[in-house]
Structure 1
Amino acid sequence: MADRGEILTNKILSKIGASSITDLAELLPSPHTTDIYIKTAEEDLKVNNIEDAFHKLSLTHATLLHQCMLQRLHKTSHKRSNDPASESEPDTLASEKVTLSAVDKDETLKLLQKLPSDWTVVQITSSTMGEANLPRIGCNPSTPGLYIARCSCGPSPTITFQTVSTPQKDGVRGIVQEVEIIKEENKIINKDYRGQHEKYWKKREELDNRMKCVVRSMAVAWLQHWSCLLIGGLHPREQKLLEEVTSRILSTCKMSMSSNQIQLFQSLIGCPDPDKKAGNLEAGIIFSVRAGIAALLGESVRSECVKNLYKAVQSESANLEKIHNADRNPVILVIGKSIAALPWEMVWVLRDRAVTRMPSLRMLAFLYEHHASCTSSILVQGVNPSKGFYVLDPESNLPRTRARLKNCFAESGWPGITAKAPTHEQFKDALTNQDLFVYVGHGSGSQYMPGEIVEGVECRAVVFLYGCSSVRLASRGRIPEPWGVVLSYLVAYCPCVIGMLWEVTDKDTDNLTQEMLNAVQGKSGKAGSPLENPPADLALLVAQARSVCNWYLTKAAVCVYGLPVHILNNNL
C-alpha cells in the first residue's frame, strides 16, 4: 500500500514538473509550505549559502497576496483576449506575472537588481514553524527567533544575513503577546472608563508606558546589536569611506572575514549611537559595537582578538563620526506575517527615518515595475498636492473632528464629502484620478468601499486612511495568513497607503492629520519643530509628523505601506 502511494505521489509530482515535495513547495509556494522553506534555508545557512537561504525565506512572505494579484492579472488577460477591439496582451502584463511567480534564486536576485540603487530592503522572517504558522484567533505565539536579511538594491545587489535568537529573559519572551494585550485594552478603554476621567487618563498613560517598554525590549533584548541591520544604506561617498575604514581596520588587525561578515561588520561600526539621538526613550540604550564584534567572531568580549579589533575601530572615530551623521536612504521593511503587528518603525535605529512596509519582495518589485513603467504615475511624476479628494466623517458622528479639520480641508482647495457617505463611484473616481485621497472617519473606509471592490480599481492616488486599525492585518480563522484592506489597495496597484496599526484617539489623530496635510502642501510647521521645513520624501514626512502626537500609542500606530514617493512643491 505504501509503495502504491509513493508511486502515485511520484506520478503527480512528475506531471507538475517536480522531483520531490521540496521542489513542489517552490513550484507552488503557499502559507502551508513555510516549514519546508525554513528547513531548507537552515540547511543552506550551514554551508554559508546566503543567497539561497534568502531566496527560500522570501518564499514564506505574502503568498496569499501573490495569488490574489495573479488572479487579477489572469482576469485582465482573459478580458483582453475576449475583447475583439483589444490588442494582444502587452509585455508589461507578462512581465508582472513573471515577477510574482519568481521561484528561482536567480530570479529573486534579479528582483533586487530591478529596484533603485538608493533603496534598502530589510526582510525580517520569523523562524517559527508548525502550529505557530497556523495561529488560532486570540492565540499569540511567543516571541520568535528571526532571520534578518539586509539587501542593497540596484545592478550589483548585496545581501547581509544574520539570525537573531529568541529573547532569553523571562520578561521579554512575550513581546508579541504584550502588544496584542495592549491593543485589546486600548480598544475597550472608552467603554470601561466612561465618565471616569481620572481613571481613564491613568490607564491611557499606563498603556503608553507599556508600549514604550515593548519597543525598548525589541531593541535591547531581542535585536540587540543587530538593530544596526535595519538602518538605510549610505550615499555613495559615505559608503566608499566606510569601505576604506573597514579595509584599514582589518589590515591593521591582520584579520580576514567572509563577505557576509564584512557586511555585518560595516553595519555595526557604521551605525549611529542611540544616545546621540533626540528623545528620552533612547536615553540609556547601549549599542555595544564590542558585543556585536564578539558575536560576529564567535568569541568572548574579553578575548584578545575582539579587544584588538575594537581598539582599531576606536582609532577611526573621526571618520566613523562622519558616517554616523550622514543621511540615510529609505528603508523598505518586508516583515513576516506573525510579527507584522509590531511597531518596528519606533525602534531607535528607524525612528525619524524614511521607512515603508511591503508584504514581500515580489510585491515590492511588482509594484515598482508597474509604476516605473508608467510615465504618468506619481512615482515618476511626484505627488501633486493640489490634486486631492477627502471624505470627512461620513457617518456624521464625529462633530469635534469635523470642527478641527474643516478649515484645513477648505484651505486645500480640494473637492470632498463631509458628513455624508460616499458612493462607490465617488470613491473610485478619487482613487483613479487624484494624487491624494484622504479618509477621516471610523475604520478603514471599507464599509463604503469594500476590499473586493477596491481590488478591481487601478489606483493612482496615495491613500491616507485616518481611522482606527485602518492598516491592521488580522487573522481570519484558520486561514494561515492575516489580511487587511491595505492588501486590497496593493492589489489595486496603490503606490502608497498611510494608516493606523490599531485604535487611536481622535484628538491626537486629528492634530496629526492637520499637520500632515499642511506639510504635504508645503506649509511650514511651528518654528523649531521637525515639520518647520517639511521634507519632500513622504515616508520621512510621516516619520517627522509623529512628533505632533501627544500619545506614544498614536505615534507607534502610524504606518506607511508601499513605495517611497515624493511630493511636488515649489517651496521645496
Structure 2
Amino acid sequence: MEDFDVFTNEINFTKPLFKNILNKYVNEVPSTPNGPNYQSGRKLMAEECLSDNDDVGCAFHLSEAASASLRTMAVYRDEQLKTAENKLHKITSYIKPIKDLVDSNPISKTDKKFLDKLSEGTDDITNVLDSFALEDEMPFYKRYLHFSKENNVDNFLKILKELPKEWTVVQLTVPYNPNENLKPLIEYRTEVDSIYLSLLTNDYLDDTAMGPVTVHIPANITKEGERPLFTELYSLLDENYKTIDNAQFLNNKRLVQNYWSRREDIDLRMKSVINVMDKEWLGGWGSLLTGKLVDSSLKEKVVKLVDTTIQDWGFIRLTQKQKILLYNLLESCPVLQSQQIKTCIRRILTEHGNTEDVRQVLNFECGSCTKEFRFLNELCLKCLSKSFEKIHHFGLVDGIRAFSQAAMQVKDNDEWAGLKKAKRHPVILIVDEMLDTFPWETLPILNQHPVSRMENIHFLYYLYKIHESKIVDGYFAAKCDVGRYVINPEKNLDRMENRMTSFVEYWCPEWKGHVGEPPSPADFIAHLSEADVFLYCGHGDGCQLAARGGGAGVEQARGSALCVLSGCGSVRLAAPAPRAPPAAAHHHLHIAACPMVVGMLWEVTDLEVDKVVSTLLSLYVPSEAPLPWHSVGKAKWSNKILDTTSEQKGQIIQERDILRAVCRARGSTNYVMIASSVVARGLPLRIRE
C-alpha cells in the first residue's frame, strides 16, 4: 500500500509495480480485448522495453499495438463463416476447450473406479463427444490473429524470418496518449508530438543477428506562428470536403471561379504539409523508409564506406544499431539535403548509443540533466557532447564531420550517381491508425518506390500464408485474364460513367460488369470471386452493394482480385464516435483474402480520378487496343467519344508491377490532392510473365 497516497486523487506507482501491472495486463488479456485499451497497454510496454535498450521487445509490443480491433473482427467473421458452413461447428467449439481441460488433468485409477460405480454408459457418452471433435488444427497464421500466449517475441521473430527477403517492412506508431481514454477522437487526434519508427526487416538488418530496431522521432513540431501539422492536415481535408460537396450548387461564373481558387489553395496547402513532413519532421530519418536495393553491389559499397570511416576515425564504441542507422542514412544521401544529413548523424551518434556507457561517463555539468533519465534524447546537447567525447576520445563535431564527408562522397561523386535512381524492392508500411491519413507515399524520398500499406504484421503474415504458393520474388504472381466492373451504380455520375465506360470498352472490351445500375449482392460477390482485376467507379467504396450493413458481406468472397476502388475515401479509415475502432473497405476485403486494394484516402473529383485510374489500368493491364491510352484524344471523353485517329505520342512502357504503376499513374493529374490520395493496401502484386 505504500505505493498509493489516499489523500490525493493521484496514484504514484513505483517502477517495479508499474511494470508488473503492465505485464499482467498484456499477458492475461482476454481472448477478445477492447482494441484501443489493448493498444494503449502494448504501447506502454514498448516504451519500457525501449528504455531498457530492448529493441526487439519494443518492436514486438508496437506490432501488437497496430489495428488490434481488426484482428477481433477477423476472428469473429471466421467463426461466423465456419458456423454457416457447418451447423455443428459452434457446439464442437464449445466442447473442445472442456475436453482439452479434462485431457490435461487425468483422473487417478482410484477415482476412475469410484466414478465407474456412480455412472453407467460413460463410454457411450465419450464416443458421442469424440464424434463432435474438431479434427482440423487451426494453422499458425490464423492462431496468431488471436490474442493468446502465442503472440510472443519468439513467434514475432519467426514470422519476420518467414516473410519474403525482398520486402522492407517498416512500422510507424504514435506513442501512448492518456487523453485517448478521456477525450473524443476529434480532440486528441492532434495531440501527437513524436512517432516510433520501427525497422522490422531491412537490407542492413538481414546481415546481423540484432533483429528489429526502433527510433523515436520528434513530430508535429512547428515554428512560431505556424499551425501544428496534424491540425493543418485535418483542417485542409475538411475544407476539401466542403469545397467538393458544394460544387453541385455552383450556378454562376463568380462561384465557379471561387471554386477553382479554393481548389488551388487546398492544393498548395497539401504541398506544404508534404514539405513539412519531409524537411521539418522526418528529415534524415526518411532514409529508414526506403526499400532494399535490387543491385546488392551498391549495398556492399555503402557498408564498406561506413565501415572504413569507423575504422579510420576510431569509432570503437559504436553500437550495431548506430551502424545500421548510418548505413541507411548514407544510402539515401543523394535525395537528402546536407543539413538533414548532418542533423541525423548528430542524433545517431548521441541519442542512439549505449545508455549505460553514457551513465558511466556523464558528469551532469549543465545542472539540469540527471541520472534518472530513461532515454538519451532527454539529455541536453552539452551533456551528450561531453559524453560522446569521453566515450570515443574525440569531439562530437569531428564525429559529425567524419560521416558528413563520407555522405558528401555519396551525394556528389559521379561514382555513386546510379544510387539515386537505383531500382528497389517493395516497401510495406504498417501505419498506425492515428497516422494513416498522412500521404507517406508522396514524400520525395518514397514517391518513386513501390510502396504498399498494411494494417499490422498479423494481417501481412495472414495474407502472405494464404497466397504463399503464388508469391514469387516477393510479389504475388497475378493474372489479368478476367476483369469485372461496377460503374455508376447510383446513376448520378453521368460524365464519369461516360468516361470510364468508354475506357473499358476501348482498352479491355472483354471485361464484364454493371453500368448505371447496382448489381445484386450475389453478383457483387461473384465479381470479387471471379475477377483477376475488379474495378469500382462510384461513390465511396461500393462494398455496401455486397450486403446491407456497411460492407460486412464481402468476406464471403474468396478470390485473388486486384480491387481498384475509385470513390471518395474508398480506403479511408473511419472511426465512429466516441472511441469505436476505425474500419474501412480494405479491412473486409483483406479478411476475404483479397491480396491488393487500391483506393482513395479522402474526397476526390471524378475527372481527375478518372485520369489516374484509367492511366493505372492502361499501364498494368495488357491490351490489343490500336493506340496506347496516353495517345488517345480525350477532348470529348466526357461525352463518351474517344479520338483514335491521332498519332502515337512516343513509346509507352507497360508496368506489370502494380505498385510502380500507381507511382506513374499519380503523374497523370496536376492536382497534388488527387495524386496523394491514391494508396495501395495489401501484398505487392505483379502480373506473371
TM category (shorter chain) comes to: 0.7 to 0.9
Unaligned runs of 5+ in 2: 4-18, 93-130, 351-383, 386-394, 632-647
Mapped to 2, the partners of 1:62 and 1:430 lie a distance apart of 28
1:194-238 superposed Cα distances (whole Å, 9 cap, x missing partner): 231111110000000001101111111111211111111223333
User: Size of the alignment, in residue pairs?
Assistant: 545
Q: How does 1:346-495 map to 2 (within 5 A)?
A: 346-373=442-469, 382-411=477-506, 412=508, 413-449=510-546, 450-495=550-595
What SS class does the counterpart of residue 417 from structure 1 fall into? strand
Whether 1:24 aligns to 2:83 is: no
Does 1:255 find its partner at 2:304?
Answer: no
2:177 maps to 1:129: yes
- Matches of 1:529 and 1:333, distance apart in 2: 36
Counterparts of 1:542 and 1:91, CA distance in 2:
39
- Bigger CA radius of gyration: 2
Match of 2:680 among 550, 560, 563: 560
Map of 2:281 onto structure 1: 222
The answer on 1:33 being equivalent to 2:93 is no
The separation in 2 between residues aligned to 1:376 and 1:292, in whole angstroms, is 36
Q: CA contact under 8 A between 2:197 and 2:216: conserved in structure 1?
A: yes
SS in 1 for 2:463: helix
Alpha-carbon distance in structure 1 between the residues aligned to 2:657 and 2:445: 18
Mapping for residues 77-476 of structure 1, pairs under 5 Å? 77-78=82-83, 79-80=85-86, 82=88, 90=136, 93-98=139-144, 100-101=146-147, 102-132=150-180, 136-139=184-187, 140-152=189-201, 158-170=211-223, 174-192=228-246, 194-195=250-251, 196-235=255-294, 236-256=296-316, 257-274=318-335, 288-298=340-350, 303-315=397-409, 317=413, 320-373=416-469, 382-411=477-506, 412=508, 413-449=510-546, 450-476=550-576
Seen in structure 2, the aligned counterparts of structure 1 residues 272 and 313 have a Cα distance that, compared at 3 Å, is: closer
User: Structure 1 126/540 Cα, relative in aligned 2: closer, same or farther at 3 Å?
Assistant: same
Name the SS of the counterpart of 2:582 in structure 1.
Answer: strand
Please state whether the residue corresponding to 1:288 is helix, strand or coil. Answer: helix
* 257-266 or 93-102, which deviates more: 93-102
Cα distance change of structure 1 residues 513 and 35 upon mapping to structure 2, 3 Å threshold: closer
Secondary structure of the corresponding residue to residue 597 of structure 2: strand
The one-letter amino acid paired with 2:257 is E
> Residue 217 and residue 26 in structure 1: after superposition, are their counterparts in 2 closer, same or farther (change >3 A)?
farther
Does structure 2 conserve the Cα–Cα contact (< 8 Å) formed by 1:539 and 1:565? yes
Cα offset, 1:464, TM superposition: 0.7
Q: Which residue of 2 aligns with 1:73?
A: 78
Secondary structure class of the residue paired with 1:390: strand
Distance 2:457 2:556 in 1: 23
Deviation digits for residues 105-143 of structure 1 (CA, Å, limit 9, x no counterpart): 111111211110000011000014112367525333234
2:489–2:514 Cα contact (<8 Å) kept: yes
Q: Name the SS of the counterpart of 1:222 in structure 2.
A: helix
Is the Cα–Cα contact under 8 Å of residues 142 and 177 in structure 1 kept in the other structure? no
CA distance in 1, matches of 2:444, 2:291: 13
* 8 Å contact from structure 2 (residues 293, 422) kept in 1: yes
* Conserved 8 A contact 2:477-2:685: yes
Change (3 A) 1:186 1:380: closer
- Which residue identity lines up with residue 464 of structure 1 in the other structure? V
CA deviations 1:488-532 (Å, max 9, x no partner) are 111211111010000101110111122122112235564899992
Preserved CA contact (<8 Å) 1:519 1:531: no
Q: Structure 1 residues 191, 168: CA separation in 2 closer, same or farther (over 3 Å shift)?
A: closer
SS at 1:420 equivalent: coil
Q: Which residue of 2 aligns with 1:15?
A: none
